[in-house]
Amino acid sequence: MARITAERINNIVKNFTSSSVMVIGDCMVDEYMWGEVRRISPEAPVPVVDVEEVERKLGGAANVVQNLSKLNVKPVLISVCGNDGSGRLLREMIGNIDCQSDGLFESQERPTTIKTRIMARNQQVVRADREVTNGLSKNEYEALWELFLKNIDNVKGVIISDYGKGVISEPLISKIIETCISKNIFAAIDPKEKHFNLYKGVSIITPNLKEAHTMLGASQPRNCSDEEVQNLGWKLVETLELPYLLITLSERGMGLFQRDGRIYSHLPTTARKVFDVTGAGDTVISVFAAAIVSGATPFEAAFLANHAAGLTVAQLGTAYVTQEELIAVCAAALL
């Protein structure tokens, strides 16, 4: 394996600017209500949060798009929103990150997904989800497939962001994967356990350790050894016929599996502090895909994704990194 150099990393990241990646999946608005707890409710034994600030961020596939845009990769978004105020807000927020929102199909059949987190002194008190998770209707499916076909020849890679909210299901995902294979386009999936059987033949999936166990119908042991991680990963690679697999291992970092040569690489975590892992998977798959379509090897892409994730988990809520931040943190690691 060739040694990674700061010059090589710099060249890969600079190539992001000439790369384009399609993101298709479940978009949502992440809403945060920030406040203080000063008393317990007289109605029930629960804290009363005095809300002082409301913040709204891009979530799900929209956060993947945001991560790509902040890296100067040209993103193309294909998704669904509702004909509602949150859908209009979502379009506006996407426009604010220099991404076209014309791939966001406005559905008359489902609302825009909103996740509301009530926060007290940086601690999440409760989360409320407003969503419909049914599979796409015939009308929605046909609209997204048409948008996919319209844009697929203009991108170098595809990210399927599966949050289980209805966008990613049969037959859409099968046709997407088949098209990517036929056109030799890199396709990556941030997976949902219940859709395990839909991912066969994709370029890479990026589950966390719990998701990887659940996909194979196994319960995660309290202390999963490195040998158990490798056995689990190779079984996933073989079952889904994956060229690559990247399992995120929380405080232990990441494990990269490459089917050709049967190569396993462990990348230790680079996070110095962890405030919030929300959206960390979005950063991992965004950076990995951006790096691959910009000429990186799988190990180089995983190296970049690992360092990017180390930066984003140190921030509260969904977060992202810039080209400059990514180059700097990688250069420091290579000294």
Tell me the whole-structure pTM to 2 decimals: 0.93
Are 141 and 105 in contact, with CB atoms under 8 Å apart? no
Span between the terminal Cα atoms of the chain, in Å? 19
Find out if CATH 3.40.1190.20 is the number for domain 6-35+47-333. yes
* pLDDT, tens only, 249-273: 888 889 999 999 999 999 987 755 5
Catalytic residue list: 282
Q: Which helix (H) or strand (E) holds 312?
A: helix 298-312
Q: For tokens 């509260």, what's the residue?
A: 316
Query: ∠ CA(182), CA(203), CA(312), 5° rounding?
Result: 135
What is the sign, positive or negative, of the torsion defined by CA atoms of 150, 151, 156, 157? Answer: negative
Q: pLDDT tens for residues 201-259?
A: 999 999 999 999 999 888 777 788 889 999 999 999 999 999 999 999 888 889 999 99
Helix axes 172-182, 138-151, angle to 10 degrees: 20
Is 279 a residue whose pLDDT tops 70? Answer: no
Token digits of residue 156: 């170098």
So what's the pLDDT on residue 184?
Answer: 96
User: What one-character DSSP code corresponds to residue 183?
Assistant: T
Least confident of 18-22, 290-294, 326-330: 326-330
Whole-angstrom Cα distance, residue 267 to residue 299? Answer: 9
- The number of angstroms, rounded, from the C-alpha of 81 to the middle of its chain's C-alpha atoms is 18
CA 157 to CA 281: how far, in whole Å? 17
Give yes or no for a contact between 263 and 234, defined as CB atoms under 8 angstroms apart. Answer: no
CA-to-CA distance for 83 and 156, rounded, in angstroms? 31
Task: Return the domain boundaries, the chain.
Answer: 6-35+47-333
